[in-house]
């Protein structure tokens, strides 16, 4: 393994860690990618059947612009995969009230249009005709954006790890970091749970929701929150195919609800992009009856034929929340040789094609337009969530 730039040890093989490994290797670093599990780890946030890939970010043009860079790469990856893992179903963004200035839907529509995209505004009659699974009397306005859709995230991470191996990244499963090795204010490596010391010129901690456990001095800035996901197996498959039931958000900034069409295994997935509940990611991931009651209320008012079905599976998955909901990708100002790449705040996966570059720029201390947004910012207090699609109620 040649490493002209030195040796980078990346802790955590979710999408942040795996993309960083590829980019650093391409920049001639010697790279190790370590994770306690198999890769992908079943408990990682990235390990799921699907993640939304959307351009719409309300009035926050920076993320839309970043997605404009990521989308062609998603399509290019699709061409490289034996079968597509990015499904460009388009994204349906509906609301219960007419779109008004200041709302996520209106501002997303405005920004998309101003940037040359072609979001298609929908009337209740359009909604009824094109998307018959929806209760058109409840949802009266919104738009369909043909770019975007969903990525099969666990399979994408598995492919990234495979590619990393092919590029001679040392992918090390069953390797759990227990602590940093430090000398005179400089991080010189990591120590594993088994007591092994692994030396590095640069350590990149990309451990998602586990980050504040590993680096407790970040507990004031990064917080693990648990979010439920539900799977259904509808018998009427046609109604939930991607043309009639594309990836959607349902009044999302006021309800949190979003979901996915029938996938290759006959599953329709529904999630809630809300505040979640604070929980240790190593604690048992228990179901909350109130979360299910809220899901049933949503289904009854939105998808009449989905509402009576049993839940085929429920998963709990963890965000690593920052106070402002922007990612946290920067060099530790107190510890030379350490970069933290975490703080996904529940919306990081769609940026997979560009994340590695952002993280590698931080490792190499290169200027980049996003360095400021994702900077080390312990001063941000109290919480001030700025991800406009998220339900903060």
Ligand X SMILES: Cc1cc2nc3c(=O)[nH]c(=O)nc-3n(C[C@H](O)[C@H](O)[C@H](O)COP(=O)(O)OP(=O)(O)OC[C@H]3O[C@@H](n4cnc5c(N)ncnc54)[C@H](O)[C@@H]3O)c2cc1C
Using CB under 6 A, list all residues that contact ligand X: 11-17, 34-37, 41, 44-46, 51-52, 176-177, 206-210, 214, 227, 229, 271, 317-319, 342, 344, 346-350
Shortest separation between residue 294's beta carbon and ligand X, angstroms: 15
Shortest separation between residue 161's beta carbon and ligand X, angstroms: 10
Packing angle of the helix pair 153-166, 15-26 (nearest 10 deg):
30
CA–CA separation, 89 vs 242, rounded Å? 6
**Whose CB is nearest to ligand X?**
14
Shortest separation between residue 51's beta carbon and ligand X, angstroms: 4
Between 36 and 246, CB nearer to ligand X: 36
Nearest to 149 by CA among 54, 229, 58: 54
Between 15 and 360, CB nearer to ligand X: 15
Shortest separation between residue 20's beta carbon and ligand X, angstroms: 9
Residue 367: burial class (beta carbons within 10 Å; 0-12, 13-18, 19+): exposed
3-state class (DSSP) for residue 95: strand
Residue 210: burial class (beta carbons within 10 Å; 0-12, 13-18, 19+): buried
- Residues contacting 110, CB < 8 A, separation 6+: 59
- Residues contacting 19, CB < 8 A, separation 6+: 160, 352, 353, 355, 356, 359
Between 96 and 314, CB nearer to ligand X: 314
Shortest separation between residue 235's beta carbon and ligand X, angstroms: 26
Between 350 and 373, CB nearer to ligand X: 350
Shortest separation between residue 80's beta carbon and ligand X, angstroms: 20
Whether the CA torsion 15, 221, 223, 298 is positive or negative: it is: negative
Between 136 and 190, CB nearer to ligand X: 190
Shortest separation between residue 326's beta carbon and ligand X, angstroms: 12
CA–CA separation, 185 vs 280, rounded Å? 29
Paired sense of beta strands 328-331 and 277-278, if any: unpaired
CA–CA separation, 58 vs 64, rounded Å? 9
Whether the CA torsion 375, 376, 382, 383 is positive or negative: it is: positive
Nearest to 228 by CA among 262, 154, 279: 279
Between 104 and 319, CB nearer to ligand X: 319
Between 60 and 344, CB nearer to ligand X: 344
Between 60 and 136, CB nearer to ligand X: 60
- Give the phi and the psi of residue 247 in degrees, each rounded to 5: -50, 135
Helix (H) or strand (E) holding 315: strand 313-322
CB 240 within 8 A of CB 261: yes
Cα–Cα distances in Å, from 347 out to 174, 342, 352? 27, 11, 11
Shortest separation between residue 176's beta carbon and ligand X, angstroms: 4
Shortest separation between residue 351's beta carbon and ligand X, angstroms: 7
Between 124 and 385, CB nearer to ligand X: 385
């Amino acid at each position: 393994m040649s490493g002209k730039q030195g040796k980078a040890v990346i802790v955590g093989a979710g999408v942040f860690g795996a993309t960083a490994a590829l980019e650093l290797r391409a920049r001639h670093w010697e790279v190790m990618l370590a994770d306690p599990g198999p890769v992908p780890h079943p408990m990682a946030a990235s390990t799921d059947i699907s993640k939304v890939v959307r351009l719409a970010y309300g009035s926050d043009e920076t993320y839309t612009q970043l997605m404009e860079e990521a989308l062609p790469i998603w399509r290019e990856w699709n061409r490289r995969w034996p079968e597509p893992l990015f499904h460009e179903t388009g994204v349906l963004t509906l609301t219960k009230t007419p779109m008004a200035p200041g709302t996520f839907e209106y501002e997303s529509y405005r920004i998309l249009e101003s940037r040359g995209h072609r979001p298609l505004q929908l009337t209740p009659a359009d909604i009824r005709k094109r998307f018959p699974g929806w209760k058109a009397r409840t949802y009266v306005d919104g738009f369909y954006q043909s770019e975007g859709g969903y990525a099969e995230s666990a399979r994408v991470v598995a492919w990234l790890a495979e590619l990393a191996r092919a590029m001679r990244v040392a992918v090390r499963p069953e390797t759990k970091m227990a602590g940093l090795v430090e000398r005179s204010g400089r991080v010189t490596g990591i120590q594993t749970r088994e007591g092994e010391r692994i030396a590095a010129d640069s350590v990149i901690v990309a451990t998602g929701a586990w980050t504040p456990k590993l680096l407790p001095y970040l507990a004031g800035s990064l917080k693990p929150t648990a979010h439920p996901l539900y799977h259904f197996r509808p018998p009427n498959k046609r109604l939930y195919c991607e043309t009639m039931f594309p990836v959607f958000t349902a009044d999302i900034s006021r309800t949190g609800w979003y979901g996915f069409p029938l996938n290759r295994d006959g599953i329709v997935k529904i999630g809630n992009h809300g505040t979640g509940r604070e929980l240790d990611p190593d604690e048992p991931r228990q179901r909350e009856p109130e979360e299910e009651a809220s899901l049933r209320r949503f289904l009854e008012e939105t998808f009449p034929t989905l509402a009576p079905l049993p839940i085929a599976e429920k998963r709990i998955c963890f965000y690593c929340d920052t106070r402002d909901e922007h990612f946290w990708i920067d060099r530790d100002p107190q510890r030379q040789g350490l970069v933290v790449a975490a703080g996904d705040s529940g919306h990081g996966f769609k940026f997979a094609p560009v994340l590695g570059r952002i993280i590698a720029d931080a490792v190499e201390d290169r200027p980049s337009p996003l360095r400021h947004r994702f900077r080390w910012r312990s001063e941000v207090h109290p919480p001030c969530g700025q991800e406009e699609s998220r339900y903060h109620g």
